[in-house]
Structure formats: C-alpha cells, structure tokens
Amino acid sequence: MGISYNSDIKKAREALMNVMNAHPKVMQDPAPFVGVVVLGDNSINLAIRPYCDPADYWAVYFDV
C-alpha cells in the first residue's frame, strides 16, 4: 500500500494494525506486520502482512 510522503507513517501503521487486530480471521501468532518496504518516487510503500488459515486467505485479503 502506498501512502503520501506527507503522511505520518506511525499513524498509518497504527490504523492498519488496528484493522488487522480487529479482524476475526487474522491470526495473532504470528503477529500481523506493517512496515516500510520501499521509498518510491511518489509514495512510501508499506508491506501489510496479516496471517490467517489458508481457507480464509481470500476473505482476509479483500477485507484487509
């Protein structure tokens, strides 16, 4: 996910973590992850990794 260079990375991370922690199909072990993966030309790109059971993959993918 890309965010603006004017965005607060900490707030973006908190918001995304809150979404994943509130989702009933996202596992807490291993814990969800959000981190900066690339400083792009026009955005800061974040990696968002919620872990779930394979059967729930697509539901979690589209929900998160």
Strands, E assignment, 1-64: 2-3, 33-39, 44-49
Strand partners for 44: 3, 39
pLDDT for residue 48: 97
Averaged pLDDT for residues 7-32: 97
Average pLDDT, the chain: 96
Averaged pLDDT for residues 45-60: 97
Strand partners for 47: 35
pTM over 0.75: yes
CATH architecture of 2-63: 2-Layer Sandwich (3.30)
Going from N- to C-terminal start, the domains of the chain cover: 2-63
pLDDT for residue 26: 98
Query: Which band of pLDDT confidence, cut at 50, 70 and 90, is reported for residue 60?
Result: very high
Averaged pLDDT for residues 56-61: 96
Residue 1 in tokens: 């996910």
Residue 11 in tokens: 């707030």
Nearest to 41 by CA among 2, 10, 12: 2
